[in-house]
Structure 1
Amino acid sequence: MRLSRPSTSLCAFVTLLNDRLGESIVFPLLPYLLASFTSNGRTLGLLAGSYAIAQFAFTPLIGALSDRYGRRPVIAACVAGSVLGLGLFAITVSINWHALPWAAGGTIPLALLFGARLIDGVSGGTAATAGAVLADISSPENRAKAFGLIGVAFGLGFILGPAFGGLLAGINVTLPVWAATGFALLNLGLVLGLLPETHPPEARRALPRKRDLNPLSALQRVFSNPQVRRLCAAFFLFFLAFNGFTAVLVLYFKQAFNWGPGLATTAFLVVGVVATVVQGGLIGPLVQRFGEWRLTLAGLGFVIAGCLLIPLATLDNAPRVVFSAVAILALGTGLVTPCLRALVSRRLDTDGQGAALGSLQGLQSLGSFIGPPLAGLAYDLLGQRSPFWLGIVVLGGVAVLVAGGLNSGNQNTESRAI
């Protein structure tokens, strides 16, 4: 029997929205929130990447726990962790640490900020578990429609987060973090009050072996498959490059153009709108017309073009050039991400789909962890524009890997999509 009452879908939707909203509110404001503690790119990059590494390490365990003990307690624990992480971050950036002699030097507040980001990242398995709830309550023929809620929630999160973040930051730069904490608290109340258990005891599975929960083991298995090795390497390097230069993007806007939180968050709002339109409505017809290979390469070209435009902007034309550049970046990313996933999927038989596509999420998280600190280091040591030039080089390598995968792969993959 499937529990399909509206409160279940509502709780899953709000949980998915909270997962994206908290990150999309905080991330564009990090340089402004850190201004009292540090202004270097290395610290910003590490702080941006810490969320991703925690999510990478713990998401497999959270998924296994939800299969073993049920969805409701796992979602409740994860959302509570989100409340704790965001709340700790909000408290830390709201305290006047300079008035506390024993906290001189910024070590204590920075440690608390890293702890908050790690707690929030560990709790980041909510999206997968909320997706499992939607699968539990949907019949097979309606599952695609139910999963459409995931795309809607993520799209809204990427749009509403920067929009509300920029609006509230105009009042006080710490206010958006408190708003994100409040929404997570509302999410927790809905889960505790309305969400039923959708995974019955008879369907539960024992916890897997420890080595099966090791995310690195899953990556090793997928890279041992010659059919998808090049494409998986391309997927990892794409997110390493993209999340690298986007991690220092707002810091660059702040220091190069003297932008405040309003303009910086507007840039991310443009990204959210364009990416949502591309992935929500355009990607299907475009794939039917051009195929995944061509769209992946075209998307990489768009990302490279956007990455090239940003360091060429000047004080006089910065808003016009930057907003155009981030729109091009969003268009490219909206094409590359789903198409590259589809290319990997096409190369695999049915039995290998779940593990390999799950590994792609791990590769994305790992790239999102490694890229930002490297970009921050380059920003400090090689100059403000260096992360963009280095990103272009890595993206060029991604294009070579994808093109090589086309030449060495099954040729009828592309012909079917033409």
Structure 2
Amino acid sequence: MAPPQRSRTSTLACAFLTLLNDRLSESLIFPLLPFLLAGFSSDGRILGLLAGSYALAQFSFTPLIGALSDHLGRRPVIAGCVGGSVLGLGLFALTLSIDWSSIPWAAGSALPLGLLFLGRLVDGVSGGTAATASAALADITPPEKRAKAFGLIGVAFGLGFILGPAMGGLLGRINVILPLMIAVGIAVLNLVLVLAVLPETHPPEARLPLPRRRDLQPFSQLARVFSNPQVRRLCAAFFLFFLGFSGFTAVLVLYFKQAFDWGPGLAGAAFLVVGLVATVVQGGLIGPLVKRFGEWRLSLAGLGFVIAGCLLVALADRGNATTLVFNGVGLLALGTGLVTPCLRSLVSRRLDDSGQGAALGSLQGLQSLAGFIGPPLGGLAFETISWRSPLWLGIALMLGVVALVAGGLPNRSVKSG
């Protein structure tokens, strides 16, 4: 039975703001990290570790958060995760606001860096909000409409891509700490809204007992989902997609700078195109497209767009860079906007309703693991092989994803459209 319209609207609003907050907490901080760390360390290895600590913590704890949402319900878990985001962002902002040189016993010590890592780790631990919000969307949406509902994830991703770097760049000119304060304020607003209006979407009769402790370890959780023949290929495709995507996007701005001598203006405009296209596709087009073509065909088409986009960006030179790169990143955004909600929906539809939280938590865990492994691999290829090699590596991985998805031709129980 469909939930009342008011309850559904409240759930959609809370899920959207939760997903947006999750994305903003990352997109606001990441472009500013070199400037924020200037007073503590200029070591690139420290920067890389701090940037990757969020994804590592998210990967480690997402299975537990997904299982808790199946056991306790979505509302308390989302509230706890958003509260953790408030604490993590707040600690990060507070640490950067303190003049540590004026504190004799702390000046020159590792304490400030330790607190920064702790803030990022706390925020990453609470990063299971995306999986739990996705499970709440699955609770209130019939299976055949879940790809459209999961498009909210892409809208939040796109808006975060637009708002995060833009807010960070503009407000950072006034005060480099100001964007962090705005991020904390958004997280507090998110928490108030969740506590005030979010209904419980997972009824008590559908609750599951907590798995054994060993089954809550992230690799055990992933092993279990990969042991399910219904979703094994799709989960592998999901992981490889984000491994390739995070690998080449991590060095994309550096590639623009080295290959084309682009400054932050052109590079920022390219990411603005990505955000706008992803928002339009997943916010307005994904529902009608799924209705007409089905998730399986759209996944393959989206992968084709991603491969074409990577080719255009990799083949660009200084003479045609503006045309090829902007068309290329537009295709990348279009393809990603189709692939991610459709793959999530295909996995969700192949499982029964009782385990949606754990299953979608596993997908979030796969994305986090790929987000932790992909950027160092992309950076290593960039430095040791060639500037364009992360894009060629991404194309190779996308071809592997095509093979996995194509081999998962929908059976009678999971129609293609």
- The reply to whether residue 57 of structure 1 matches residue 60 of structure 2 is yes
Task: Provide, for residues 159-209 of structure 1, a one-character-per-residue CA deviation record: whole Å limited to 9, x for no partner.
Answer: 3323323332344444323321222233344456x3577489966765432
Q: Are the equivalent residues in 1 in contact too, given 2:299–2:342 (CA < 8 A)?
A: yes
8 Å CA contact 1:28–1:264 kept in 2: the answer is: no
Partner of 2:395: 392
Q: Distance in 2 between matches of 1:21 and 1:6?
A: 22
163-172 or 257-266, larger mean C-alpha shift: 257-266
User: CA contact under 8 A between 2:277 and 2:334: conserved in structure 1?
Assistant: yes
Measure the CA separation in 1 of the matches of 2:396 and 2:200: 47
Q: Kindly provide the amino acid, as one letter, of the partner of residue 379 in structure 1.
A: F
Alignment correspondent of 1:22: 25
Indicate the percent of aligned positions where both proteins have the same amino acid. Answer: 69
Asked if the contact 2:158–2:274 (Cα under 8 Å) also holds between the matched residues in 1, the reply is no
Q: Residue in 2 aligned with 1:209? A: 212
One-letter amino acid of the counterpart of residue 235, structure 1: F
User: Are residue 323 (structure 1) and residue 305 (structure 2) matched?
Assistant: no
Give the counterpart of 1:125 among 128, 148, 154.
128
Residue 220 of structure 1 deviates from its aligned partner by 1.2
Cα distance change of structure 1 residues 97 and 323 upon mapping to structure 2, 3 Å threshold: farther
1:233 maps to which residue? 236
Deviation (angstroms), 1:156: 3.6
Whether 1:88 aligns to 2:101 is: no
For residue 238 of structure 1, report the CA deviation from its aligned partner: 0.9
The Cα offsets for residues 78-103 of structure 1, whole Å up to 9 and x where unpaired, read as 22321232233334556688999986
Check conservation: 2:151, 2:286, Cα contact below 8 A: no
| TM-superposed deviation, 1:270 | 1.7
* 1:29–1:265 Cα contact (<8 Å) kept: no
- Alignment match of 1:364 (pick from 367, 371, 383): 367
Quote the Cα distance in structure 1 between the aligned partners of 2:101 and 2:187.
Answer: 29
Asked if structure 1 preserves the Cα contact closer than 8 Å seen for 2:7 and 2:199, the reply is no
Deviation at 1:314, TM superposition (A): 4.4
What code does the residue aligned with 2:249 have? T
Deviation at 1:282, TM superposition (A): 2.3
User: Residue in 2 aligned with 1:295?
Assistant: 298
Residue identity in the other structure for 1:269: L
Structure-2 separation of matches of 1:109 and 1:260: 31
One-letter amino acid of the structure 1 residue matched with residue 130 of structure 2: A
- Equivalent residue for 1:157, pick from 153, 160, 168: 160
Q: Distance in 1 between matches of 2:248 and 2:92?
A: 23
Aligned-pair Cα RMSD in Å: 4.2
> 1:124 is aligned with what amino acid?
G
Aligned to 1:115: 118
1:284 maps to a residue whose letter is G
Task: Look up the match of 1:283.
Answer: 286
| Structure 1 contact 44–376 (Cα < 8 Å) conserved | no
Choose the corresponding residue for 2:342, options 339, 352, 357.
339
* 1:18 shift after superposition: 1.5
Which deviates more, 201-210 or 363-372?
A: 201-210
Give the aligned partner of residue 382 of structure 1. Answer: 385
Count of aligned positions: 409
After TM superposition, give the deviation of residue 303 of structure 1 in Å. 1.5
TM-score by length of 2: 0.78
Mapped pair 1:402 → 2:380? no
How much does 1:242 deviate? Answer: 0.5
The alpha carbon displacement at 1:391 in A equals 1.9
Q: How far apart in 1 are the matches of 2:346 and 2:10? A: 36
Corresponding residue SS for 1:208: coil
Pick which of 253-262 and 378-387 moved more: 253-262
| Offset of residue 67 of structure 1 | 5.5
Q: After superposition, what is the alpha-carbon deviation per residue over 1:310-333, rounded to whole angstroms, capped at 9, x for unaligned? A: 344445654444332221111111
Counterparts in 2 of 1:159 and 1:221: CA distance versus 1, 3 Å = same
One-letter identity of the residue aligned with 2:344: R
Superposed displacement of residue 65, structure 1:
3.9
User: In the alignment, residue 385 of structure 2 is paired with which amino acid?
Assistant: L
Question: Cα offset for 1:17?
Answer: 2.7
Aligned-partner residue type, residue 335 of structure 1: L
| Aligned AA (1:295) | L
SS at match of 2:228: coil
Q: Is 2:175 the counterpart of 1:177?
A: no
| Structure 1: gaps spanning 5 or more residues | none
* Comparing 254-263 and 49-58, the one that deviates more: 254-263
Determine the C-alpha separation between the residues in 2 that align with 1:350 and 1:196. 24
- Counterpart position of 1:249: 252
SS in 1 for 2:122: helix
Residue identity opposite 1:218 in structure 2: Q
Given that residues 167 and 179 in structure 2 are in contact (C-alpha distance below 8 angstroms), is that contact kept between their aligned partners in structure 1? yes
Which shows bigger deviation, 226-235 or 144-153?
144-153
Distance in 2 between residues matched to 1:92 and 1:261, nearest whole Å: 27
Amino acid at match of 2:274: V
Asked whether the 8 Å contact 1:295–1:335 carries over to 2, the reply is yes
Q: What do the CA deviations read for 1:129-168 (whole angstroms, capped 9, x no partner)?
A: 45566788x6989x97987766655554343323323332
The one-letter amino acid of 2:343's match is L
**CA 1:352–1:129 in 2, change beyond 3 Å: closer, same or farther?**
closer
Q: Distance in 2 between matches of 1:205 and 1:229?
A: 22
Q: TM-score normalized by structure 1? A: 0.77
Alpha carbons of 1:232 and 1:80: their partners in 2 closer, same or farther (altered >3 Å)? closer
Q: 3-state DSSP class of the match of 2:29?
A: helix
Letter of the structure 2 residue corresponding to residue 223 of structure 1: F
1:306 to 283, 304, 309: 309
Name the SS for the 1:225 alignment partner: coil
Gaps of 5+ in 2: none
Partners in 1 of 2:301 and 2:183 — Cα distance?
Answer: 36
Q: Identify which range, 148-157 or 304-313, moves more after superposition.
A: 148-157
**How far apart, in 2, do the equivalents of 1:94 and 1:310 lie?**
39
1:30-70 Cα shifts (integer Å, max 9, x gaps): 45545663474x65554443222212221232344456566
Matched to 1:231, the amino acid is L
